[in-house]
A and B are shown apart, each in its own frame.
Chain A
Amino acid sequence: MSTETETATAVDRAGPTGAVPAPRRGRVGRPTLSEGKRAERRLGWLLCAPAALVMLAVTAYPILYSVWLSLQRFDLKFPDEREFVGLANYVTVLTNDYWWTAFGVTMLITVVTVAVELVLGMGLAVVMHRTIVGRGLVRTSALIPYGIVTVVAAFSWRYAWTPGTGYLATLFGEGAPLTERASALAIIMLAEIWKTTPFMALLLMAGLALVPEDLLKAASMDGATAWQRFTRVMLPVMKPAILVALLFRTLDAFRVFDNIFVLTAGANETSSVSMLAYNNLIRGLNLGIGSTMSVLIFLAVAIIAFVFVKLFGTAAPGSTDEGGRR
């Protein structure tokens, strides 16, 4: 995806400088592209064609296939009863309590983890950006959680919270925290946050580097306190980077799976929608219902992405401001 857009923009950018202004002849009043422009546009399409084809092969086909599956009654336990049922599966899922519970859990995890990660990540980014001594060490150690395979990390959290073996389990009196809904969800979120805050920090740090030092100096001269510099100067300039970070993390968080799988396996109503889809699809072998859920998750993710891209739209003038300076 990214390679595709990059090629396209690179070609676009080369456009105005690279194009030889062809003599404009005939057909007055009709805005036609010059020869050079058109050739370049064709080259642009050709350059991104391979990437686009691969993308289609590996994403469009499975997506369409699961849409097709979601319109059928198709349970591998009863293969003979396969039939086309239209939107019946969607009605079944959307009127089902399990689905909505899982949806609620997913939303909760998404909102809480992304919000906390944003705050912590910003703090971490500022620290990493500002440290002068031992910069490498600080950055490396901050990134360690992100470097550990999620499942491995999840297991270590599980053992840590398991009574008898864990060093954390006894922290909150007796009981087994992973067997109660509230504490289990809290632990899942904790594991998620611990794991992905560094990623957030990394993205935000790229944004911090965008803030010119002079701008902050100017703000201090204008009488801004450190906090005012942060909120009135840094954040607005960083807005595009923050939105990218939020988009990535929201999409990721919405598909939360591995931590839940390892920590609770979805017990005590701690399933996320991905977990539920997995249970139906792989465990329950119900391809129809499972695919329906997958398609719904896909739609939810698409909506999130759409909303963010809309927000980008409003941020875009700000970001071109940036490029336009100097």
Chain B
Amino acid sequence: MADIVLDKVSKSFPDGTVAVRDVDLEIADGEFVILVGPSGCGKSTTLNMIAGLEDISSGELRIDGERVNDRAPRDRDIAMVFQSYALYPNMTVRENMAFPLRLAKLDRATIEQKVAEAAKVLELTPLLDRKPANLSGGQRQRVAMGRAIVRSPKAFLMDEPLSNLDAKLRVQMRTVVSRLQKQLGTTTVYVTHDQTEAMTLGDRVVIMRGGAVQQIGPPQELYDHPANLFVAGFIGSPSMNFLHAAVEEERLRTAVGDVPLGDRLRRELAAEDAPRELILGIRPEHFEDAGLVDEQTRGRGTEFEAPVEIVESMGSDKYVYLTVSGERASAAELEELAADVGADGFGGGAANLVTRLSAESTVAEGENRRLWFNLEKIHLFDPSNGRNLTLHEGRAAGALAS
């Protein structure tokens, strides 16, 4: 049990790569924190610095208030689970789990008891005498977890522990990890690629990009109030729609019609150095079939018409894909996100929209449909630095906020 504080922690490698830049992070005792971000953003490096496997170039790392920058991993009392599981191939499951205890020079009976306990929690008891080579992926994963929990460390560090499992097993193990963490109440830092894991597992999520922290907060907060374009695009599946928006006096001209602006935004955009072009962000669920919106709600949004390309009915709701003509949104962040997803899903081509409509909608492929979207839920980003302009004191207030 411990709190972990990263105070302006940076890492530069001998070849000049700056992998982590000025990361400030306070992890409370017992908290479950997720580090998430695209490949190469410095998640593993950050985790390795907390573990002591990488030296910290500058800044300070404190565990329980004590500076531990120069402490060897074995003196930090932290356990780690690796993506490759890193089980010792020459040892049985029992020996693997007992290894940290034997190194800690516990007596035989205690070791035996602790291993048995951990094995029971993780349902490994029948496998104790097997070698790792004779285990399935999921079982190996559990052994790796077992090896971490046997010695009741101050904290767990996990580097993409589930990414070698197939999709179904991953979901299953996700609940195991979550339950285990709640049960033990051990401070946990968990690295993942997968934003679903990030959203479902953690108390708080840290989004990183290019070695720098973009935003820290509970998953729902990141979803509702993204600080910038990158966070907005990274969190959510399907991801937020981004459209180009031109600033014109009191409104924005976009491919989905004109968007009126509230007082605050108008004031902000009236400034001399204010951007003349913005990026409009709308989440799929903030669209609705215009025919299904009641009068009261209608006023909070605006309508547009567009040709429907594909309709996917999910039962509970419908995913509708539309094409709207107009300039595509462009920003460095969007390109990076697209590269990470490996697709041109972000503002690619002639702006494709992904919308999520109620199941009652009678929308059909090929027709022109009138859609409505909620102006209170939209986000506006400055393309030059990605900042979310609708964010006011940490809350996103939509376009109309005064």
Say whether B217 faces chain A, with CB atoms less than 8 Å apart: no
Interface contact B74-A225, CB-CB below 8 Å:
yes
Interface string of A304-326 (1 = CB under 8 A from B): 00000000000001101111111
List the A side residues contacting B88 at CB < 8 Å: 215, 218-219, 232-233, 236
> For the complex, what is the distance from the CA of A239 to the CA of B89, rounded to whole Å?
12
Interface contact A321-B89, CB-CB below 8 Å:
yes
Interface contact A222-B99, CB-CB below 8 Å:
yes
Task: List CB contacts (< 8 Å) of B76-96 with chain A.
Answer: 78-80, 82-84, 86-90
List the B side residues contacting A214 at CB < 8 Å: 82-84, 86
Interface contact A220-B82, CB-CB below 8 Å:
no
Interface string of A216-229 (1 = CB under 8 A from B): 01111111110010
> For the complex, what is the distance from the CA of A326 to the CA of B135, rounded to whole Å?
10
Interface contact B87-A325, CB-CB below 8 Å:
yes
Interface contact B90-A215, CB-CB below 8 Å:
no
Task: List CB contacts (< 8 Å) of B236-292 with chain A.
Answer: none
> For the complex, what is the distance from the CA of A322 to the CA of B87, rounded to whole Å?
10
- Shortest C-beta distance, B70 to chain A (Å), equals 15
Interface string of B12-49 (1 = CB under 8 A from A): 00100000000000000000000000000000000010
**Which of B84, B87, B88, B89 gathers the greatest number of chain A CB atoms within 10 Å?**
B89
> For the complex, what is the distance from the CA of A324 to the CA of B74, rounded to whole Å?
29
A324-B134 contact in complex given A221-B78, A224-B103, C-beta closer than 8 Å: yes
- Shortest C-beta distance, A119 to chain B (Å), equals 21
Chain A, interface residues (CB within 8 Å), range: 20 to 34
Task: List CB contacts (< 8 Å) of A225-267 with chain B.
Answer: 225, 228, 232-233, 236-237, 239
> For the complex, what is the distance from the CA of A324 to the CA of B79, rounded to whole Å?
25
In chain A, what residue has the closest Cβ to B52? Answer: A220
Interface contact A218-B80, CB-CB below 8 Å:
yes
Interface of B toward A, CB cutoff 8 Å: 14, 48, 51-53, 72-74, 78-80, 82-84, 86-90, 99-100, 103-104, 131-134, 147, 164
Q: List 13 A-B contacts (CB under 8 A).
A: A215-B86, A217-B51, A217-B53, A221-B73, A221-B74, A222-B99, A222-B103, A228-B103, A232-B99, A236-B88, A324-B132, A325-B84, A325-B89
Interface of A toward B, CB cutoff 8 Å: 132, 212, 214-215, 217-225, 228, 232-233, 236-237, 239, 317-318, 320-326
